[in-house]
Chains A and B, each alone.
Chain A
Amino acid sequence: MIDINSPEFEYFLNLSVVLTGFSRFHLQGTGVAHLYFETIRDILGEELFGELLNIFHGLELEKTEQSIFSDRLRSEILASEKFGPITRNIIKVWYMATWYALPLSWRDVFGTKEKDRTFIISPQAYPEGLLWTAIGVNPPGAKGPGYGTWSEPPLVSLNQG
């Protein structure tokens, strides 16, 4: 069972906010945050996942200026040989409810994880993909927006904050 009060889950949410560009409120509103946390932990193992989350938490604790934080996020996590592919996977999990098998080059160095394969986290998670929210549409095949809505101007624009 997952302890939703565990600090790691908090770190995961915070990391997800930074990676996805969506608010914590929004992420929790999807109803699949726990599922994602659990699934990813299950694939990576507690140790590796914990290491990533703790490094991120460290960056947060030491955060002073946004630009320095962003630089460190890039150099220490996104550009890290070990954690880069994992964080990119986390983005894709949030955006498309899909876990992608980690690249071969990653597995060569860090070992093969038994449950690491490309799959949809769950059919219920698919309609919650952030990709659809990001481009201002409903997930294809779910939550239909209603007759004739497609004639109206789109809900997103390029200069929105």
Chain B
Amino acid sequence: MSLNREVINVDCETVFNTLYDAVIVGTGVAGAIVAKELSQQGKRVLILEATVEKDFTLAGFQSYVETFYGAVEKNPNSPYPTNPNVQSPTNYQDYFVEQGPMTLSGSYTRVLGGTTLHWEAKTPRMLREDFKLYKTYGQGLDWPISYDDIEPYYRKAEYELGVCGDVDEQKKLGVEFAPGYVFPMKKLPPSYLDQKVSEKVEGTQVKLYDQDYTIRFSTFPQARNGEPNPDYDHGNGFVPHGVTTVHPVQYGERCQGNANCVPICPVQAKYDARRTLGKAFETGRVHVLYQAVAYKVEHNSENGHVTAIHYKHYKNQNSGEYTIGTARGTLYVLATNAIENARLLLGSELLNTSGMIGRHLMDHPFTLAWALMPEVTGTMRGPLVTSGIGTFRKGKFRRNQSAFAVDIHNDGWGWATGSPKGELEDAVDNKHKYGQELRQTLISRVSRQLLLAFMCELLPEYSNRVTIDPNYKDKLGNYRPVINFNLPDYSRRTLAYTRKVSRVIFERLGAEDFTHYDSRDPAYFVFENEGYVYKGGNHFSGTHIMGTTNKNSVVDTYLRCWDHQNLFLVGAGSMPTIGSSNTTLTIAALSFRVAEEMLRELNSISPNLQPATLPAR
């Protein structure tokens, strides 16, 4: 089956002349799910996408892989073409205007499919207590919905993303599931390194605020193709996307252990949003306009209704020239991610009754700890992470300090030190090794590496925010995100505490500790007399949080803007807290929930008519 590009890709004039059921901005996982759900139910959808169209084909994808092979710095955005008109952090170091006091840093990608092109694809659910943190521990905020409200949508999200994992392991960590539920695919086998670490460390007791915690290892649920679970869907099983279909973007093999999930999975075993987009496009009811950068959401000042989205359409990514266009629909969805949504909302001078647009910016700061194992355990094998420690995701200590989750990295020290490239440079240039000795040095220095990454919760802080400033605009004259960011002691205490945990683990393993925090690093901080460095977690969230009223939040439980009733703000920006879960599964679950609400509304306005204006396939 091939997609009819003529039906899908439209020009500004067609867009101008069509009234859509929904106008969606962004083709990331959030926008893609909404587009798919609406179009499959007969609704006419327009997606505005800022990026240049890259072939939705294997050839287009292969060109990313080639670019990656040819890049000297293999950073998260290295496979994707730079686009001066639509900048992404990482490619453009100064895209974020960081005003401190600490740096946010981090990465996303403005390409077709969005940041899932280079995400790592860990997909843990949030815990019941994460939704009522304030009620339970007097910290952060409570969600206006409970775990039970979101649970059915977690199931939909796990189906859509194709999650592999082990329900029993997750239950031990406190995650709740519907009776009899299993993940679509079986858990990914733990790496040899995981096995060696857990052999010595499993069961270790540590004390935290007078409570005993026992360190336990478990695999991560992940959105990459593994072995389908025959018990899924009451014994009907699961067919991984892309394996049986011959869809152009989905040759999606089973994970080959390429250890390259970030920045690009060469065999497309890893989920990315193009899979969902493909299903939306197949309906024949989706239009996409590329090179269309939304810059203003227009509203009617009398009733608050959004009346149009204005965009800048550039002809060529290397020239800042553009024309202006307008898109109209019954409902509008912003799905450009937490940072970009905030920037766009603020730049549109929309109502902001709560004053919270852009505020409560969150991320998951990480600390890293690295050591050499006493024996060769192998690195750079398998997905970047297969197992970790979930012990500290919940517990009474959350009254005093933030929750955290721990990853064992199969790719060695890369994140911390630039290994193995740096190890090779060091072995050749400083250790003066060559020949057989060089080979042995590399085995000793690379194949014994162990890196632990500690992902810490950060609460919604009113002063952590995205703002805009007319002094900082990009090439198209759009606002760049101005960031104010700090880490409260609640998180710093945990970031510091993780060092204690890593020392205990390394001691148990007899591993040689190489952890070192450089005081010149902009992310360096001192806590109780010891210095640490944190890394940005790329889980930007919380810039338009959901809540119970227009005073305490920007959107309601269906991510509907309080001030603009036909505008939905999809993505992690709507999350009032993020616990110790990577955000995307929750983004996906919420997107399904929004789509349902939008369908209810669209159907109440005009019960499903034959979608005549767009030719169906």
Residues of chain A whose beta carbon lies under 8 Å from any beta carbon of chain B = 18-21, 78, 87-88, 91-92, 95-96, 98, 118-120, 122-124, 126-127, 131-132, 134-138, 140-142, 144-158, 160-161
Contact = CB atoms under 8 A, between A and B. Distances in A.
A136 B381 CA distance: 9
Contacts of A21: 434-439
Contact of B410 (A138, A150, A156): A150
A96 B192 CA distance: 25
Give the contact-size bracket for chain B.
35 or more
Interchain residue pairs A-B with the least CB separation, the first 10: A144-B256, A150-B382, A154-B378, A123-B69, A141-B260, A123-B70, A126-B69, A21-B435, A140-B260, A150-B381
Nearest to A126: B69
18 contacts: A18-B434, A21-B437, A78-B434, A91-B434, A91-B438, A95-B428, A98-B72, A120-B72, A122-B70, A123-B69, A124-B69, A126-B70, A131-B420, A140-B380, A141-B264, A145-B381, A147-B257, A150-B189
Contacts of A142: 69, 258, 266
Contact of B381 (A20, A119, A149, A157): A149
A155 B376 CA distance: 10
A126 B70 CA distance: 7
Nearest to A153: B192
A160 B379 CA distance: 17
Interface stretch (B130-138, B440-448, B599-607): B440-448
B278 interface: no
B425 interface: yes
Contacts of B70: 120, 122-123, 126
Of B68, B255, B438, most A-chain CB atoms within 10 Å: B438
Contacts of B65: 141
Contact of A92 (B266, B425, B444): B425
A72 B424 CA distance: 24
Contacts of B386: 150
B226 interface: yes
Nearest to A121: B70
Interface in B171-225: 189-192, 195
B66 interface: yes
Contact of A135 (B74, B434, B446): B446
Interface string B474-511: 00000000000000000000000000000000000000
B617 interface: no
B69 A149 contact: no
Interface of A is mostly: loop
Given A150-B257, A157-B376, A120 B382 contact: no
B378 A92 contact: no
A158 B376 contact: yes
Contacts of B259: 137-138, 140
A145 B256 contact: yes
B612 interface: no
Given A144-B256, A154-B378, A135 B442 contact: yes
A124 B62 CA distance: 12
B180 to A, nearest CB: 26
A119 B69 CA distance: 11
A96 B380 contact: no
Given A146-B257, A155-B378, 15 more contacts: A21-B436, A96-B424, A120-B70, A120-B72, A123-B70, A124-B69, A126-B69, A136-B443, A138-B257, A141-B260, A144-B256, A144-B267, A150-B383, A151-B191, A152-B192
Given A91-B434, A118-B72, A145 B257 contact: yes
A146 B189 CA distance: 12
A141 B376 contact: no
Interface string B320-347: 0000000000000000000000000000
A54 B2 CA distance: 58
Contacts of A95: 424, 428
A134 B376 CA distance: 13
Interface in B353-404: 376-383, 386
Contacts of B435: 18-21
A154 B377 contact: yes
